[in-house]
Amino acid sequence: MTYPRNCWYVAAMSHEIARALTARTLLNEPVLLFRREDGSVAAIEDRCSHRRVSLSLGTLIGDRVQCGYHGLQFDGNGSCVRIPGQDRIPPQACIRAYPVVEQDGFVWFWPGQRELADASTVPDFSDTCSSNRFVGRRANTLPVAAPCLFNIENVLDLSHVSYAHEKTVGTREVAETRPETEITDAYVEVRRTWDRAAAPPMYQRLFDWKEVKRTQAIRFWPGGNVRLQITVEPVGNTEPNQVRHLHVVGPCTPETDTTHFKFSAMYRDFALDDGSVTDTIAEQFHKTILEDKVLMEDQQRNWNRDGEGVTMIDLAVDRAPLAARRLLLRLAQSERQ
């Protein structure tokens, strides 16, 4: 799968980037991240232009990265600013720098054409991640040894929660309910609604409700952006203050063709000051995404072992995942024209 490059992708979580060198492969490119003295984040190619040694093996000196092999220094814009033993710095000594925007707890980077990078188009999760209406424990980067597309397909087909996550967020109603699917040129969205359904184990633990009225709406849009919005309330409820909202913010970024990084967290709009609720949701949600990680990595191992000629079937619930695949492919192909 070739992913579009003229999109904003998450390179890391803000709290993961400090006054140190952080190396990460992103969309098959070696990227070096570090925080400048003024607090801003820089992203440059993780290669010295002299002998292609990884700059991440070097040292951060002020706002310059010094190569650990021959001492060349580079700033956060990719400019080579010092070559020991000579005054002249040839233009070809400079390396690639990536546009970066830090927003909503994420470090976003643009791997495509630099002149097309527009900070105003960075995916906006501020209504959840930067709002005083919602609280939650921020994500940490989760490496997954499976293609990013597997994760996108996983989240757009939530029927799997009935079986993969039956101890946390799954009930049989999810798999048995045909979703409403909206497909546009910009996004794919899947919705399910129940007036009466069994409460998943996590909801029972949080609310002590055995049956609930609930909704799910999950949207994907390129490059790897995912947002899940859930409402849950007692059956027959007429009080607005009894409606609970849970939001999952879950961008994902290709690392290589067969691996990716997942940045997922769950937020809530109730019991805002109760740390024990934060702990419970974070624990249950982390268990859920680790269950997904096991399944996706097993899927990739089987693809490697079985070969490309093995037949797979598509089901009705695959309409949204297949639409997302086509959307990504169309964007990637348009970039090559």
Q: What is the pLDDT of residues 80-105, one digit of tens each?
A: 999 999 999 999 999 999 999 999 99
pLDDT at 309: 81
pLDDT at 317: 95
Paired residues of 125 in beta bridges: none
pLDDT at 292: 98
Domains of the chain by start residue, with CATH: 9-120 (2.102.10.10), 125-336 (3.90.380.10)
Residue ranges of the chain with per-residue pLDDT less than 50: none
pLDDT at 311: 86
pLDDT at 301: 96
C-alpha distances in Å from residue 9, one per residue of 20, 112, 140, 142, 261: 21, 10, 15, 15, 10
pLDDT at 330: 97
Angle, alpha carbons 124-127-128 (nearest 5°): 100
pLDDT at 1: 78
243 with 237: CB under 8 angstroms? Answer: yes
The rounded distance, in Å, linking the Cα atoms of 91 and 41 is 24
Q: In the numeric block, which tokens belong to residue 252?
A: 């994902």
Strands (E), 95-202: 100-103, 106-109, 142-144, 180-183, 188-198
pLDDT at 250: 97
Q: In the numeric block, which tokens belong to residue 234?
A: 């007692």
pLDDT at 107: 98
The rounded distance, in Å, linking the Cα atoms of 171 and 167 is 9
235 with 251: CB under 8 angstroms? Answer: no
13 with 138: CB under 8 angstroms? Answer: yes
